[in-house]
Chain A
Amino acid sequence: MTAPDRLIAVERVTKRYATSSGPVEALHDVSLTVGEGEFCTLIGPSGCGKSTLLGMLGGLVHPDSGRVLVDARPVTGPDPRRVATVFQDPGLFPWRTVLENVEFGLELGGSAAARRRAIATELLPPLGLKGFAEKYPRELSGGMKQRVAIGRALAIDTKILLMDEPFGALDEQTRVLMGEWLLDIWRRTRKTVIFVTHSLHEALFLSTRIAVMTARPGRIKSVLDLPLDYPRSMESPELVALRAKLWGEIREESLRAMQ
């Protein structure tokens, strides 16, 4: 069995992409551990390798060196029994209805039609998709598509949930509401969530830990622990202090990324 504080372990991982203009180093010597039941947020400038890191946890990207362990086992490929991913680009299947998209993972996992229909149908109202079950993706707004993608990931009910800027396409108000909703799910199910965002507010509001990444090649610059209760108030003195600290770290890297 794994030690519960090391459900996920990224050990000295490096990743280079071959491009037409030579190799690009996306991640350099990245190490990170995430304990069971944590809500760990990755934050860092655009192009610093956050999606790449999530891809590795999901078994879709292979490190050039170092290794990634989930449940003490090295990740060799996708494992939908343990890990579900919400991608940065929702990636809905345009020929499937909303309901059929949400059912996708269950279908591949071989669950019976009636059962997966029931699970998917139950997920739609909290996602604000009630009444959209039979619609096709092209009839949805960007934010709705992203919510369908979240439903597809939640439907397979995995221990680990990887979310790559899941609320990036939402307006600020919906974003806050979806954050509250996600918090509620996370606290009820005790899933382990790895979450990518560009929003400091979202990171501070949701996370138990925040890993700040450097500009490319991505490294872990610092890890902040947030041992605070939920729901959180942005006005609380602890959070105000953490916010200032986080902003300092990120500002530096964002400036570097822009040079």
Chain B
Amino acid sequence: MTLLARAGLFLVLLGLWEAVGRASNPLLAVPPSAVLPALRDLLLLRSYPDLPANVLLTVREIAMAYALAVVAGLACGFALGFNRLIGRAWGPMIAALYAVPAVVWYPSLMLFFGLDAASKIAFGFLLGFFPVTLAVLAGIRQVNPHLVTVARAYGAGPLTVFGRVMVPAMLFTLVGGLRTALALAVVGVIVGEILGSKRGMGALINHAYGLLRTADYVALVLVTLALVVGSDVVASLAERRALKWSE
């Protein structure tokens, strides 16, 4: 039922888009009838033969940025969370930094890391790092101290308490943070590529857009969208698995 309703709404929107596209300047408002052939050409590697290499590069940058963000975010979050003194001094700072629109850092990242993959990874990392750290900090605060006491009574040492009580108790918040971080790492890398790069999906998008190849541009955006949605689907599957008990 909802599926049918969604499909219906989708078709209505497509129709509207088509009508508006035809009525106005087709170069700016590309109608779906123009996008479809462009998408076909794109996927058959006619318009951009180097699409696979660029997709691969973007995916690799995202994976790298995300992995770094997770590792650093977890380390930083636990270090701040377990060390009350440092945590009190730095916790609010992290939250404040997170509130700064991250794009302001990008020019300096490009200066520092150059125009290639490194600066994109750094930007994706920067966006992904904060939600992981903040999720760890929030998660630690959520652990019910009584459960730690119970575990200690049953013989748990610090490591066991960490693995059997803290991590599962934090999981809900932690997984939410990890998922947000993935989405943001994807945004960071692609925005980085659009703002200045010769390769990667963002660079292709920029190219098509710059040459006013609007239909190609939309097709590229659709492929990117598929990438983003795909990563979020994987993340949500992992999330559901991890949180089986709370359903």
Name A residues whose Cβ lies closer than 8 Å to a Cβ of B.
58-60, 78-81, 84-85, 87, 89, 91, 93-97, 104-105, 108-109, 136, 138, 152, 156
Other contacts beyond A95-B169, A108-B154: 16, CB < 8 A: A59-B153, A60-B153, A84-B154, A87-B146, A87-B149, A87-B150, A89-B146, A91-B149, A93-B164, A93-B165, A94-B245, A95-B246, A105-B154, A105-B155, A109-B155, A136-B245
Question: Across the two chains, which residue of chain A brings its CB closest to B144?
Answer: A91
Near A by CB (< 8 A), chain B positions 158-178 give: 160, 164-165, 168-169, 171
Which residue of B150, B164, B246 contacts A91 across the interface (Cβ within 8 Å)?
B150
21 sampled A-B residue pairs with Cβ under 8 A: A60-B149, A60-B152, A78-B152, A78-B154, A80-B154, A87-B146, A87-B150, A89-B146, A91-B144, A93-B147, A93-B164, A93-B165, A95-B168, A95-B169, A97-B245, A105-B155, A108-B155, A108-B156, A108-B160, A108-B164, A109-B155
Alpha-carbon gap, A95 to B245, bound state (A):
5
Known: A87-B146, A108-B160. A93 touches B152 (CB 8 A): no
User: Restricting to B91-140, which residues have a CB under 8 Å from any CB of A?
Assistant: none
Among A91, A96, A97, A138, which residue has its beta carbon within 8 angstroms of that of B146? A91
Query: How far apart sit A138 and B149, CA to CA, in the bound complex (Å)?
Result: 20
Residues on the B chain within 8 Å of A96, using CB: 245
Given the interface contacts A60-B149, A108-B160, A136-B245, does A93 sit within 8 Å of B155 by beta carbon?
A: no
- Complex-state Cα separation, A156 to B156, whole angstroms: 14
By a CB distance below 8 angstroms, the chain A residues around B156 are 108
* A80 x B153 contact (CB < 8 A): yes
* With contact pairs A96-B245, A136-B245 given, residues A91 and B147 touching in the complex (Cβ less than 8 Å): yes
Residue pair A78, B160 in contact (C-beta under 8 Å): no
Contacts of A97 in B (CB 8 A): 245
| List of A residues within 8 angstroms of B150 by Cβ | 87, 91, 93
Q: Is the interface of A mostly helix, strand, loop or mixed?
A: loop
Interfacial chain B residues near A138, Cβ < 8 Å: 246
**Contact residues in A for B154 (Cβ distance below 8 Å):** 78, 80, 84, 104-105, 108, 152, 156
Docked Cα-Cα span, A78 to B150, in Å, equals: 10
Question: Chain B: residues with CB nearer than 8 A to chain A?
Answer: 144, 146-147, 149-156, 160, 164-165, 168-169, 171, 245-246
Q: Given A91-B149, A94-B245, A95-B245, are A78 and B155 also a contact pair (CB < 8 Å)?
A: yes
Interface centre among A89, A95, A105, A136 (most CB of B within 10 A): A95
Q: Write the chain A residue with the least CB distance to B172.
A: A95
- How many Å from the CB of B219 to the closest CB on chain A? 44
| Cα of A174 to Cα of B76 in the assembled complex, Å | 50
CB-CB under 8 A from B160, the residues of chain A are 108
A156 to chain B, nearest CB (A): 7
Determine the residue in chain A with the shortest Cβ distance to B148.
A91
- Across the interface, do B171 and A95 meet the contact criterion of CB distance under 8 Å? yes
In the assembled complex, the Cα of A79 lies from the Cα of B156 at a distance in Å of: 10
A52 to B147, CA, bound (A): 17
Could you tell me the distance between the alpha carbons of A60 and B155 in the complex, rounded to whole angstroms? 11
Bound-state Cα–Cα, A187 to B124, Å: 65
Q: With A and B bound together, what is the CA distance between A152 and B154 in angstroms?
A: 9
Cα–Cα distance between A168 and B150 once the two chains are bound (Å): 18
Q: Which residue in chain B gives the minimum CB-CB distance to A83?
A: B153
Contacts of B146 in A (CB 8 A): 87, 89, 91
Given A91-B146, A91-B147, A95-B245, the answer on whether A85 and B153 have CB atoms closer than 8 Å is yes
Q: What are the 8 A-B residue pairs with the smallest beta carbon separation, nearest first?
A: A80-B155, A91-B150, A105-B154, A95-B168, A95-B245, A108-B155, A78-B153, A85-B153
Residues in B neighbouring A91, C-beta threshold 8 A:
144, 146-147, 149-150
* B168 adjacent to A93 (CB under 8 Å): yes
Distance of A96 Cα from B160 Cα, bound (Å):
15
Closest Cβ–Cβ distance, residue B151 to chain A (whole Å): 8
Complex Cα distance, B168 from A136, in Å, reads 14
List of A residues within 8 angstroms of B153 by Cβ: 58-60, 78, 80, 84-85, 87
Contacts of A156 in B (CB 8 A): 154
A109 to B, closest residue via Cβ: B155
Shortest A85–chain B CB gap in Å is: 5
Would you give the shortest CB distance from A138 to chain B, in whole angstroms? Answer: 8
**In chain A, what residue has the closest Cβ to B157?**
A108
B19 to chain A, nearest CB (A): 51
In the complex the two chains form, what is the Cα distance from A76 to B1 in whole Å? 63
- A244–B149 CA distance with the chains assembled, in angstroms: 38
Give chain B nearest CB distance to A58 CB in angstroms.
Answer: 5
